[in-house]
């Protein structure tokens, strides 16, 4: 082998050794990188497990949440023409502020008529009581007439008996000629007169009894209208008074006032418009008594209970502004259950869809005053389920 070939062989062997060393170094470096990556993954996994076990698993969150309120709808209780509207949309009002005024002319006339009817009813009932007293006096008078008629019957009976006795005596004496025919005729006439007077007296007694019974019946009929009552408690007066009170209430209802503090929304009434009872005129949104309806997936509600603390943020203010509240209620059904056309899950092409259940969350009143919200704003909600045992203990203590 020549010198040049030997040199080339050495150079080739040297190159192969260098390549082999580089491959070994690369493999060593790759192993170190894989070890670092595996360690990082292991640390991340352990960190995530620790975070989920102690923090993450205790919170449930959703951005499917919106502000809501028990909106007060203003509707008139009486019909009429709108005389004045004192508010506009977005205006803040206090409870008791006048919102709408309905023309009260008809209501005032109705009240005057009801008051006149009440006065007339009171006078009419007073006449009932006076009539009772008069009929009572008439009953006493009819009783006296009946007693007088009875006495007249007794007197007629005595006259009849005396006339009969006189006739019998004269008839006996007439046989011996001691009594003239004229005396006998007069005795017979006296008897006929006594019999006629007797019949007149009996008829008078019957009439007196009938008059007394008729008067007693009229008194009983009159007493039915006043029995167990006074003028103020009589049904006719009570009915007239109720109609008067209703008319007075209708007059007061011509002025519509704010039932709660809030902001005017959806005003649909104008001056001069004729409105019917029950027509929606406007709404009052109680911005200081709002809540949040958060729609959580059914699988997120395993540990959610009433009273648990909630942290929220509104898109209108950004995530830097936080609101606080508590869970106050869970809906009785999902949105699809109350849909106008509910899902027909009994069909053969059924596909399971994860449902969401609305959860009602209160908002701290002081925070609402500092940062007012409007109805329908988007919210991000996070419920801390760590308060579950505390809430249960508090509920047990209250029971």
Per-residue pLDDT of 221-260, as tens digits, reads 667 667 777 888 888 899 999 999 999 999 999 999 999 9
Examine the domain organization and report whether 311 and 186 are in the same domain.
no
Mean pLDDT of 350-368: 88
CATH value at residue 311? 2.40.30.170
CATH of the domain at 280: 2.40.50.100
Q: Is residue 9 part of a domain?
A: no
Question: Residue 347 pLDDT more than 70?
Answer: no
Residues 166 and 90 in one domain: no
Q: Are residues 295 and 324 in the same domain?
A: yes
Residue 273 lies in a domain: yes
Query: Looking at the structure, do residues 272 and 231 belong to the same domain, yes or no?
Result: no
Whether the Cβ atoms of residue 321 and residue 313 lie closer than 8 Å to each other: yes
Largest CA distance in the chain: 224
Does residue 218 share a domain with residue 144? Answer: yes
Residue 38 belongs to some domain of the structure: no
Residues 389 and 301 occupy one common structural domain: yes
Same-domain check for residues 112 and 241: yes
What is the pLDDT, as a whole number, of residue 292? 95
- Span between the terminal Cα atoms of the chain, in Å: 107
Classify residue 380: in a domain, yes or no: yes
Number of domains making up the chain: 3
* Average pLDDT for 141-163: 79
Domain residues for 97?
72-104+250-284
Among 298, 291, 263, residue whose Cα is nearest residue 368? 291
Question: What pLDDT is recorded for position 226?
Answer: 72
Output the DSSP codes for 70-113: -PEEE--SS-EEEEEE---TT-EE-TT-EEEEE--HHHHHHHHH
Structure tokens at 203: 């008829």
**Is the same domain home to 211 and 280?**
no
Strand pairing partners for 296?
357
Q: 235-252 and 105-176 helices cross at what angle (nearest 10)?
A: 170
Q: Is residue 135 part of a domain?
A: yes
Percent of the chain scoring above 70 in pLDDT:
80
Q: What is the CA radius of gyration of the chain?
A: 54
Whether the predicted pLDDT of 396 surpasses 60? no
The pTM score is 0.64
On whether both 362 and 242 belong to a single domain, the answer is no
> Is pLDDT at 358 greater than 50 in this prediction?
yes
> Is there a single domain that holds both residue 182 and residue 207?
yes
Q: Are residues 270 and 189 in the same domain?
A: no
**pLDDT higher than threshold 80 for residue 61:** yes
For residue 213, what are the contacts with CB-CB under 8 A and spacing of at least 6? none
Report in angstroms the alpha-carbon separations of 21 from 7, 14, 239, 356: 21, 11, 116, 62
Per-residue confidence (pLDDT) for residue 397, from 0 to 100: 38
CATH code assigned at 170: 1.10.287
Q: Are residues 152 and 266 in the same domain?
A: no
Question: Does residue 15 belong to any structural domain of this protein?
Answer: no
Give the residue from 284, 305, 337 where a domain finishes.
Answer: 284
> Confidence band (pLDDT; 50, 70, 90) for 110?
very high
Q: Which of 267, 284, 301 is the last residue of a domain?
A: 284
Q: Grade residue 398 by pLDDT with cuts at 50, 70 and 90.
A: very low
The chain-wide mean pLDDT, for the chain, equals: 82
What pLDDT does 29 receive? 76
Q: Choose the weakest-confidence range: 79-93, 179-193, 278-292, 306-320.
A: 179-193
Whether 273 shows a pLDDT value over 90: the answer reads yes
Chain Cα centroid distance, residue 276: 20
| In-domain check, residue 19 | no
Between 64-73, 136-145, 227-236, 307-316, the lowest mean confidence (pLDDT) is in 136-145
């Amino acid at each position: 082998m020549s010198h040049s070939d030997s040199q080339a062989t050495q150079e080739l062997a040297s190159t192969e050794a260098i390549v082999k060393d580089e491959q070994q170094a690369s493999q060593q470096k790759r192993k170190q990188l894989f070890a670092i990556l595996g360690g990082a993954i292991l640390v991340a996994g352990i960190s995530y497990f620790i975070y989920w076990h102690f923090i993450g698993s205790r919170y449930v969150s959703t951005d499917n949440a919106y502000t809501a309120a028990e909106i007060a709808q203003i509707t008139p209780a009486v019909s009429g023409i709108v005389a004045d509207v004192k508010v506009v949309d977005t205006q803040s009002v206090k409870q008791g502020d006048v919102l709408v005024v309905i023309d009260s002319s008809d209501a005032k006339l109705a009240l005057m008529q009801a008051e006149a009817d009440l006065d007339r009813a009171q006078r009419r009932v007073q006449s009932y009581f006076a009539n009772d007293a008069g009929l009572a006096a008439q009953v006493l008078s009819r009783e006296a007439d009946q007693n007088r008629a009875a006495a007249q019957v007794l007197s007629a009976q005595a006259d009849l008996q005396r006339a009969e006795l006189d006739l019998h005596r004269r008839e006996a004496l007439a046989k011996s000629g001691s009594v003239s025919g004229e005396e006998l005729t007069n005795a017979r006439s006296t008897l006929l007169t006594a019999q006629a007077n007797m019949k007149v007296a009996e008829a008078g007694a019957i009439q007196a009894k009938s008059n007394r019974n008729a008067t007693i019946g009229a008194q009983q009929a009159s007493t039915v209208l006043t029995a167990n009552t006074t003028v103020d408690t009589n049904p006719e007066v009570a009915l007239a008074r109720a109609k008067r009170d209703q008319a007075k209430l209708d007059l007061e209802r011509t002025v519509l006032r704010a039932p709660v503090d809030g902001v005017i929304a959806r005003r649909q009434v104008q001056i001069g418009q004729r409105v019917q009872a029950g027509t929606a005129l406007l709404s009052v949104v109680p911005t200081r008594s709002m809540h949040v309806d958060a729609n959580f997936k059914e699988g997120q509600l395993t540990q959610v209970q009433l009273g648990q603390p909630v942290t929220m943020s509104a898109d209108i203010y950004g995530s830097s502004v936080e609101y606080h509240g508590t869970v106050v209620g869970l809906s009785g059904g999902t949105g699809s259950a109350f849909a106008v056309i509910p899902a027909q899950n009994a069909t053969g092409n059924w596909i399971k869809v994860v449902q969401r259940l609305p959860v009602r969350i209160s908002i701290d009143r002081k925070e609402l005053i500092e940062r007012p919200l409007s109805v329908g704003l988007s919210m991000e909600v996070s419920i801390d389920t760590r308060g579950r045992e505390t809430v249960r203990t508090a509920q047990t203590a209250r029971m």
